[in-house]
Structure 1
Amino acid sequence: MSLISNTPRAVLMAALLGAAAVPALAQAAPAKPMVAPLSTASDATDIHSYAKPKIARVTHVDLDLTADFAGKKMVGTAALDLQLAPGAKEVVLDSKGLVIKSITDAKGQPLKWTLGPADPHLGAPLTVVLNGAKRIVIAYESAPDGAALQWLSPSQTAGKAKPYLFSQGEAILNRTWIPTQDSPGIRQTWTARIVAPEGLKAVMSAEMLTPDGEPVAGGGRAYRFAMDKPVAPYLIAIAIGDLTFQPLGQRTGVYTEPSVMKATAWELADVEKMVEAAEKLYGPYRWGRYDLLVLPPSFPFGGMENPRLTFATPTIIAGDRSLVSLVAHELAHSWSGNLVTNATWADFWLNEGFTVYFENRIMEALYGKDTAAMLADLGWTDLHRAIDEAGGPTGPDTRLHIDLTGRDPDDGMTDIPYEKGAAFLRTIEKEVGRERWDAYLRGYFDRHAFQPQTAEGFIADLRTHLFKGDKALEAKIDVQRWVYQPGLPENAVHVQSKAFEAVDAQAKAFAAGGTAPLDAWKGWSTSERVRFVGSLPRQLPAERLAAVDTAFGLSAQGNSEIRFAWLQLAVANRYEPAVPSLEQFLTGQGRRKFVAPLFVSLWGQGEWGQPIAKRIYATSRPLYHAVTRETVDKTVK
């Protein structure tokens, strides 16, 4: 195994060698990697990283790793290019559970290094004495329990024949398999050479230079990748498995296991149209290709916006294209999150609030205002539920700019940054008008492309490019209140769906003893069905629950959103006949959005729910990714 050279000539040659097999629109890496600036805002210090980027910062990562499925670890080297301030003598990296074997300079000369005390959330600082080196090479391996990586047995895959590996780096998990400065404000370009076992294909969130891999002495194939644009390090992602590819359009396509490709490709038929709609709104898509990887069920999120290759849960494959708003969301991150990124996790809303707003605009452009309104209205309900769970309107975690001192950044990943952030942007749109707001957003993405952003920086940009000295407009919107104060401001825009008025009436009538609205249900969209089930009282007689379950087949629902809404209702009512469906749902997928709330609901049911939670979790916990496990562990004692 040899370290892939990161010189511009070597990267360009690798691109040219693989050019014939690279999908449409792939481009060779540039001669000089782009170096993104650090944020100069006063609120840009990342408390979740040991890095001292103003002294020594990583600008490029060059990985040469072998996937050891037997040992459940990545083994090899990471070469880091550094930008140093005058007089800099050392660089501080983030590391969690990594086994460091040696560190040298580019010529192979050993460098002194130390691993500091470990923090349960942050891991340990890896400090390297540079002796003038601007490139260091770290030989290491990840731990078998590294939180970013999930190693699946063949039985956990769709094909049941081959093992599978995937990563999930957000928020600060990539330090469990890559020794770098793991902070979203320290953007880095990167290249990789990944050796996978024969019969398995490696994909990453970058341009694929060798789609078919290169044979390796001793077995396996080496796959090479290059990301020539500086990205937040949590966006470096990998998957290895029995994967096939199908184009969806000129610059879009999907990877997944062969046995589920037909259904998956059909579900995602509109992806190319989504890219086109997004570009019409806020400017060109700047990442070359937009592909998706639909993963096994244990993937902890609905989707992850890894550049060029969104990772997605199979729970969106509903058979009717009704859950594709998730794809619109991850695509929108190509602008808000990937192009312009929160500099710290205190401003996670700058990624997610913008993206929820943008997602809804894509859905409106493709499927109409009624569809977009229903999605926004459901989000409003989710926001109020999240505010209640965060301690009500005075709860400190209901702020957009959140204090995460001494906490895992995952603690801030609730519906508040998503939905309150989107409501904030809709409120600005209402006050300035859509045409003016769209022009501002397009300019915002241009001005801050490939750069980190903070709340302070966004507010300054608003004042310069949107308010332009209009103090009355700024006061009317009350930006400071939105960003820094808890609760929901009184001027928050609530997009109300007219279609939901009829749905709510049907739910009220059924709860009062009426018959199940079979005819209406047949014509309803997924959003309307979710609204109906979610609007039913949390206290219903067992015969009413049985009636609605029988009428609509809720316990056997293949649509994950409807199934989740039903199971929440069933648990609230301690409805025993739904427990087998609940158990199948919780052991059949690991999406945190569904799993964590259901365990919370079960645990809240005391002597009825807690034994069920313990029994199911004993079986399902080993199947979940670390992201989901760590959340549910806080509930199930």
Structure 2
Amino acid sequence: MKKIALQLGCLILLISSCSNKQKTTIPSYIEESHSFAQPNDAAITHLDLDINVDFNNEIIHGKASYLIKNNNASQIILDSKFLTIESVQADGKDTTFSLGDFDEQLGNPLKIDIDKNTKRITVFYKTTHKTEALQWLKPQQTADKEHPFLFTQGQAILTRTWIPIQDSPQIRITYNAKVQVPTDLMAVMSAKNPKTRTADGHYTFKMVQPISPYLIALAVGDIEYKAISNRTGIYAEKSMVEKAHYEFSDMENMVASAEALYGNYAWEQFDVIVLPPSFPFGGMENPRLTFATPTVIAGDKSLTSLIAHELAHSWSGNLVTNATWDDFWLNEGFTVYFEMRIMEALYGEERANMLASIGRQDLEEEIEGFKDSPNDTKLKLNLKGRNPDDGMNSIAYDKGYLFLRTLEETAGREKFDTFLKSYFQKHAFSTINTEKFVAFLNENLLEKHSITFNTDEWIYTAGIPDNQSIITSDKFETVEKTIQQFVKNNKIDKALTKDWTVQEWVHFVRNFPNDIKTKHLVMIDDAFNLTNSNNSYIAMVWYEQAINHDYHGNDVDTKIEAFLTQVGRRWYVSTLYKAFKRNDKTEAALDIYKKVRSNYHSVTANTIDDMLGYKQE
């Protein structure tokens, strides 16, 4: 019996050993549709980038060398789009490679032959004029108009157009970089950055925390640095430095407020670079160095919630990252929620509620726009075969926020904050999909505290559930009464608008009656000079109303064209082109667009091309 028992014990140990061994080979990456990479076979873990930025020919050329995790593979696949691949090495020796069939969204799979012992691959390459992530700007397209400028934009799947890489958000790598630029320019990256210009134009960078490829970013221009605190500061062109420094002077307070909510800031430095106006987004949360549009420089710190948003991404998005673009709401819904909490901590509950109310209006408009494709109003998306940019809209941001706000109100803020802090700590420097988040939510909040909540309805069904949080603002109610009074009395009482915030002005303009008369628009413009507003957000919503209501006073048509010429922020310009199209003025929109398209980054241009049905000749 002892012998049998011993044999049985050995058998159990053998089975257990095999089982444990098998567990180590279970795929650690989930299948996703926006990358050709097969990381369960072979995955990159670290990048050494060595490139030259050639402004004369508007290309980047050099090499990308990767340490790889090799699971006995004979091939590793990278993503590549509009790149010229010159040669490839495996462990320092030339190896064979091939580019697979081209896909309009994804580009080409770059298939590199390796053996089971290969530890490093190196790709020698150069970009082309089709490269979508790069925008090369002439001096006249910059603030100072003296030197050219270059910046990259990798999100969602554009990093593959300037670096051959496994371009999936679930890939996390560290990187070092050597970048050669003209000596009269300075280079900065989403890494540890220089504070002063080098004499030879050679810059080195190191990112020691693992990040997703879409967060690798580069900017090159005639820029300077000015510190705000020992861990915050701004880069900008000379004429913008002081303005930006004043505008963003609350950055250190924002970081401290964020840390008080959800734990220590994990990236050491939080800097912002103000880019030329063609930058397609309000901001991009590249680790250690947020890229920002100059449209937030209003002179009164009124639009700095954008900085709070990008800072919040240091936790939700950069620290804990959506595993696929179908899970994009995990990045943005959490970030909007965190942004509102930062704004509340610094500026009060009413300010945060005004911002949230505007987001709620944006969400209603987005849902109406998706009435023919309601599946696009789900938080968890299915973007297979589509550009992931299709999911980067108010659903991910504002429905995601509304879900979390409703969850907080259901659970209570204290319990919810404890849950969120645990969520960030336990998933730090990792990626997560929606299903894993739901499991974590159930275990660590709902079941733990016996809370009933309709999570699946919020995430997996279209529209907004009935138990949504109701966002109210006393100041917005006053704004609405003011509009009614102006229209009813045909008279402006400017005292009623004294000390209004930007949010109150935006709410005022966006909520004009549908049947507002031209005389009322003239009256309002004469009183407040909105056509010539120096605040880009107020100007944008006013121009939209001018298009909606055929208002042509105060030379507003010229101002709209100038705005669309000077600003490349996708949200702003798409709002105006959409208004043209909605009001059967597509030809007028195309007349402007054909003249200004070259000023836009590809991210913005692709959106407007589709909207207006424009095809380049």
Q: How does 1:572-583 map to 2 (within 5 A)?
A: 572-577=548-553, 578-583=556-561
SS at match of 2:79: strand
Asked if residue 175 in structure 1 is aligned to residue 160 in structure 2, the reply is yes
**Which amino acid counterpart does residue 388 of structure 2 have in structure 1?**
P
Q: Which residue of 2 aligns with 1:194?
A: 179
CA distance in 2, matches of 1:129, 1:464: 44
Shift of residue 133, structure 1, vs aligned partner:
1.9
Which of 599, 614, 620 is equivalent to 2:590? 614
Cα 1:119/1:511, change in 2 over 3 Å = farther
CA distance in 2, matches of 1:610, 1:431: 46
Cα 1:40/1:561, change in 2 over 3 Å = farther
Asked if residue 584 in structure 1 is aligned to residue 568 in structure 2, the reply is no
Shift of residue 84, structure 1, vs aligned partner:
1.2
Asked if residue 510 in structure 1 is aligned to residue 495 in structure 2, the reply is no
Aligned 8 A contact 1:423 1:494 in 2: no
User: Which structure's CA Rg is the greater one?
Assistant: 2
Shift of residue 145, structure 1, vs aligned partner:
2.6
Q: 1:560-594 CA deviation, whole Å, 9 max, x = no partner?
A: 11111111111111223321111111111100011
Q: Cα RMSD over matched residues?
A: 1.6
**Which amino acid counterpart does residue 562 of structure 2 have in structure 1?**
Q
Aligned 8 A contact 1:210 1:225 in 2: no
**Which amino acid counterpart does residue 433 of structure 1 have in structure 2?**
G
Aligned 8 A contact 1:267 1:320 in 2: yes
Aligned 8 A contact 2:196 2:225 in 1: no
SS at match of 1:146: coil
**Structure 2 gaps, min length 5:** 1-23
Shift of residue 38, structure 1, vs aligned partner:
12
Aligned 8 A contact 2:195 2:225 in 1: no
Q: Which residue of 1 aligns with 2:280?
A: 300
Asked if residue 416 in structure 1 is aligned to residue 395 in structure 2, the reply is yes
CA distance in 2, matches of 1:562, 1:62: 44
CA distance in 2, matches of 1:431, 1:41: 34
Which of 305, 312, 316 is equivalent to 1:325? 305
Asked if residue 362 in structure 1 is aligned to residue 338 in structure 2, the reply is no
Shift of residue 514, structure 1, vs aligned partner:
3.3
Shift of residue 597, structure 1, vs aligned partner:
1.7
Asked if residue 224 in structure 1 is aligned to residue 204 in structure 2, the reply is yes
SS at match of 1:512: helix
Shift of residue 186, structure 1, vs aligned partner:
0.7
Asked if residue 57 in structure 1 is aligned to residue 61 in structure 2, the reply is no
Q: 1:78-136 CA deviation, whole Å, 9 max, x = no partner?
A: 00111011x211101000011000001232x1111000011111001000001332101
Q: How does 1:148-297 map to 2 (within 5 A)?
A: 148-208=133-193, 211-213=196-198, 215=200, 221-297=201-277
CA distance in 1, matches of 2:25, 2:530: 50
Asked if residue 437 in structure 1 is aligned to residue 405 in structure 2, the reply is no
**Structure 1 gaps, min length 5:** 1-36, 216-220
Shift of residue 262, structure 1, vs aligned partner:
1.1
Aligned 8 A contact 1:38 1:186 in 2: no
The aligned length equals: 587
Q: 1:490-527 CA deviation, whole Å, 9 max, x = no partner?
A: 11112211111110111122233532341122321100
Cα 1:41/1:600, change in 2 over 3 Å = farther
CA distance in 2, matches of 1:175, 1:552: 47
Q: Which residue of 1 aligns with 2:73?
A: 88
Aligned 8 A contact 1:214 1:223 in 2: no
Asked if residue 68 in structure 1 is aligned to residue 46 in structure 2, the reply is no
Shift of residue 211, structure 1, vs aligned partner:
4.9
**Which amino acid counterpart does residue 261 of structure 2 have in structure 1?**
L
Q: Which residue of 1 aligns with 2:18?
A: none
CA distance in 1, matches of 2:196, 2:76: 35
CA distance in 1, matches of 2:563, 2:319: 35
SS at match of 2:498: helix
Q: Which residue of 2 aligns with 1:400?
A: 379
Cα 1:96/1:517, change in 2 over 3 Å = farther
Per chain length, whose mean CA-contact separation is higher, i.e. which structure has more relative contact order (CA < 8 Å, sep 6+)? 1
Cα 1:235/1:154, change in 2 over 3 Å = same
Shift of residue 39, structure 1, vs aligned partner:
11
Shift of residue 41, structure 1, vs aligned partner:
8.6
SS at match of 2:592: helix
Q: Which 10-residue stretch deviates more, 575-584 or 115-124?
A: 575-584
Shift of residue 208, structure 1, vs aligned partner:
2.4
CA distance in 1, matches of 2:41, 2:281: 35
Q: Which residue of 2 aligns with 1:314?
A: 294
SS at match of 2:94: coil
Q: Which residue of 1 aligns with 2:16?
A: none
Asked if residue 380 in structure 1 is aligned to residue 360 in structure 2, the reply is yes
Aligned 8 A contact 1:304 1:311 in 2: yes
Aligned 8 A contact 2:185 2:197 in 1: no
SS at match of 1:288: coil
Cα 1:514/1:75, change in 2 over 3 Å = same
**Which amino acid counterpart does residue 580 of structure 1 have in structure 2?**
T
TM-score normalized by structure 2? 0.93
Moved over 6 A (4+): 37-42
CA distance in 1, matches of 2:195, 2:302: 35
Shift of residue 212, structure 1, vs aligned partner:
3.5
SS at match of 1:207: coil
Shift of residue 486, structure 1, vs aligned partner:
0.5
CA distance in 1, matches of 2:289, 2:25: 25
Asked if residue 119 in structure 1 is aligned to residue 103 in structure 2, the reply is yes
TM-score normalized by structure 1? 0.90
Aligned 8 A contact 1:61 1:78 in 2: yes
Asked if residue 534 in structure 1 is aligned to residue 537 in structure 2, the reply is no
SS at match of 2:612: coil
